[in-house]
Structure 1
Amino acid sequence: MQIGMIGLGKMGGNMAQRLRRGGHDVVGYDRDPAISDVGSLKELVDRLEAPRAVWVMVPAGQPTRATVDQLRDLLSEGDIVIDGGNSHYKDDQRHAADLAARGLGFVDVGVSGGVWGIDYGYALMVGGEDAHVQRLMPIFDTLKPEGEDGFVHAGGVGAGHFAKMVHNGIEYGMMQAFAEGWELLEASDAVTDVPGTFKSWRHGTVIRSWLLDLLVRALEADPDLAELKGYAEDSGEGRWTVQAAVDHAVPLPAITASLYARFASRQTDSPAMKMVAALRNQFGGHAVASVEGQKAKGADSPGADVTPPAEAER
């Protein structure tokens, strides 16, 4: 079938290529004229035959909202807009209602697969009306991995991005668990082949996974990870997962802790831990390293002007 693809970056560009390999007619638009098939969104819409299908693959938030708003004014009744970015599911619901007032369909798709998806396929989590999803199945069948798995029509509008949000929250927790295990192995004198240990877990163990395969690949390239800085951004979906858990009163201790660990990675000198160090020094005279390299006070000198309460932590 024919489809418009807006956003030809690492994900959108590779998806467009996979679709073309599958025999589909893809008209791509990107702000970079060097990789764009058309010069504007209007030209893209004009190149497509009605009823049109247009896939939006731009950053979530305002870029997606602005693109959907423009398409609302350019498309015709019966056309469908697909949001394949990492949008919030509540944005999907607003977009669907806004587009429906113009006779336009809306489908949200959570996409997972990264840069490897072009060859191995993308996991697709789809939300929308049955009729809209069925019309787009030729596209979904080409993008997803071969076989029966890798695709789900998760529910109505917003369900695709909600499922992807939870997927990414789980991913945060799994990545953090692998990272903590690696740090402990590195700190131990008992294990002398840390990369080999992880490699041995790729077969026959209950934690074998694609993430483990990627971890082994990273260690083969840089066994001590010396070329990397211990800093990790979050895409936003980890935060949304935790917020959704609060909204639904669902406990997510592992996922929440993994999100906070990413926040901690951005602090070269934790303000909170400064206060912990200061308090320990006040009540117990514990050693404290000052910014100026001040010598720590002795353990038996909490300060002449402070009398610690009897119940103070020791």
Structure 2
Amino acid sequence: MAHGSVLSSGAAETIVKGETGMKIGMIGLGKMGGNMATRLARAGVTVVGHDHSPEVVSSWVASAGIVGASSVDALIAALPAPRVIWLMLPSGPITEEQLVGLSQRLAPGDVVVDGGNSNYHDSERRAALLAEKGIGFMDAGTSGGVWGLENGYCLMVGATPEVARQVRPFLEILAPHPERGWAHVGPVGAGHYVKMVHNGIEYGMMQSLAEGLALLQGKTAFDLDLAKITDLWGEGSVVRSWLLELTADALRKGVDWNQMAAVVADSGEGRWTAIEAIEQGIPAPVLSLALHLRFQSQDRDALTFKLLSVMRHAFGGHAIQASGQ
């Protein structure tokens, strides 16, 4: 079966090798998974991809030249042992179900990589489950977003030394550079733990930038140009960063603030970081407050603020503003 084709369920067909002779399975072809499969395929790796949506599989087959698999069984059958299968799935039940299923299908010596944002405790438990069957496991904290296809992904991986060696050739392709941008940071669980803290730090950085820019915007007497200032800060400033560059780019393109809801979602990793800080007894007020402010933004009825108004009225007689005013 050549590249750009879809394997039927249960098919055990020979597929044409990529330029490197390397083969990998990718389960979960969303924006991250699909782009990662594309980066690997561009480097000459034969990527066999599966997604719950046949349309998604077909689109990546057409655009990236991967080999599509209509089922997990077809994907497994297409890969020679020892197999490496990389998951890019939402954390929680979906990843759990997939890993349990793979534990019943794969053979000793195979390796499963979880590149999603799973809780590191889950990764430790899942690794133990797979180890009972002689199947290796790697937890790969993955950062880079939609820009990873062109720029490469920052990969924080946890695994045994043996599994790390087996997966290393793929990490070197996915990273910005074969020797940089990826690291075997520790045993199983360490990869997702490092990514968890990374995301907690990200919350704090984003909150700090947002507050500072809001202060600039609020000084109406100066009529400050936020796009110009964020561009300026990106050149030699102590606060220069990729996050600032992305913000500057968005501001240059123009933002209609009136069309945006002031609601900011939070991922599980921000919560897990705050919980970890509590469990270790390590103060992390910035990370925790940034998370709590996201919770606050999601309270569309703003009950907290309504209660504050009730209290202010009760003790000081301050007027309660009607809704819509």
- TM-score (norm: length of structure 1): 0.90
Pairs within 5 Å for 1:229-244: 229-244=261-276
Alignment partners' CA distance in 2, 1:225 and 1:206: 28
Q: Percent identity?
A: 46
Q: What's the CA shift string for 1:119-146, capped at 9, x where partnerless? A: 0000000001011001111100000002
Q: How much does 1:223 deviate?
A: 4.5
Equivalent residue number for residue 50 of structure 2: 29
Residue in structure 2 matching 1:63, options 90, 94, 97? 94
Unaligned runs of 5+ in 2: 1-21, 58-67
Question: Larger Cα Rg: Structure 1 or Structure 2?
Answer: 1
Alignment partners' CA distance in 2, 1:148 and 1:2: 21
Equivalent residue number for residue 289 of structure 1: 321
Q: How much does 1:209 deviate?
A: 0.4
1:219 touches 1:225 (CA, 8 Å); kept in 2?
Answer: no
2:172 touches 2:179 (CA, 8 Å); kept in 1?
Answer: no
Q: What's the CA shift string for 1:54-73, capped at 9, x where partnerless? A: 00111110000000011011
SS at match of 1:8: coil
Equivalent residue number for residue 306 of structure 1: none
* 1:225 has 2:282 as partner: no
Higher-helix-fraction structure? 2
Alignment partners' CA distance in 1, 2:324 and 2:36: 53
**One-letter amino acid of the counterpart of residue 7, structure 1:** G
**One-letter amino acid of the counterpart of residue 123, structure 1:** C
CA RMSD between the two structures: 1.4
Equivalent residue number for residue 214 of structure 2: 183
| Larger mean Cα displacement after TM superposition, 48-57 or 184-193 | 184-193
2:36 touches 2:174 (CA, 8 Å); kept in 1?
Answer: yes
Pairs within 5 Å for 1:68-79: 68-79=99-110
* 1:249 has 2:289 as partner: no
2:227 touches 2:249 (CA, 8 Å); kept in 1?
Answer: no
Equivalent residue number for residue 293 of structure 2: 261
Over 3 Å off, 4+ runs: 223-227, 290-293
* 1:10 has 2:31 as partner: yes
- How many correspondences in the alignment? 293
SS at match of 1:34: helix
Residue in structure 2 matching 1:201, options 218, 228, 233? 233
Equivalent residue number for residue 312 of structure 1: none
1:53 touches 1:82 (CA, 8 Å); kept in 2?
Answer: yes
User: Compared with structure 1, are the counterparts of its residues 292 and 261 closer, same or farther at alpha carbon in structure 2 (3 Å cutoff)?
Assistant: closer
Q: What's the CA shift string for 1:100-123, capped at 9, x where partnerless? A: 101110000000000000000000
Alignment partners' CA distance in 2, 1:291 and 1:138: 59
